[in-house]
Amino acid sequence: MAGCASMPDNPNPNRARDHLANERTFLAWVRTGVATIVFGFAIGRFSIALREFMKLQGYKSVTPGFTTWLGIVSAVGGVLLILAGLRRYSKTKMQLDSNTFEPAGFVIDLVSYLLALFGLVLAGYLAYIEILNK
């Protein structure tokens, strides 16, 4: 075509696709982190509301503050997820640019085990509360 600049040779035609996939993955980390933060906030607020409701009913709180601590752990965990996602994004971007990409491995395992542990602690706490209320 007359008047059109020639297209530069692209040594990696998948480069844009790879970087876009990396960005989508980072956004998934962010969404998960934000959801975990919101979940922690909800747990903390529910704990405060439940404690006040029990006071109005004349009951003493069975586990004062434990639910609030679960909420704090969840919120901090959400922030850590976002930071882990940012670190992974930056590392992957650098690896894609230098054509030395390595899959995540350890980070994925660590996040999975920590979230599983948090879920088990939360389930155990709910079972404990149920047993105390019988």
Q: What is the mean pLDDT of each run of 10 residues along the chain (134 residues)?
A: 54 86 95 94 81 76 74 93 95 93 86 90 82 71
Report residue 101 CA to chain centroid gap. 23
CB-based contacts of 101, cutoff 8 Å, min separation 6: 18, 92, 95
Asked whether residue 34 is domain-assigned, the answer is yes
Judge whether 83 and 26 are in contact, CB under 8 Å. no
Which pLDDT value is given to residue 61? 65
Name the pTM for this structure: 0.75
Domain count, the chain: 1
Asked whether residue 12 is domain-assigned, the answer is no
Judge whether 32 and 70 are in contact, CB under 8 Å. no
Judge whether 41 and 75 are in contact, CB under 8 Å. yes
The enclosing H or E element of 25 equals helix 15-57
Domain interval for residue 102 = 22-132
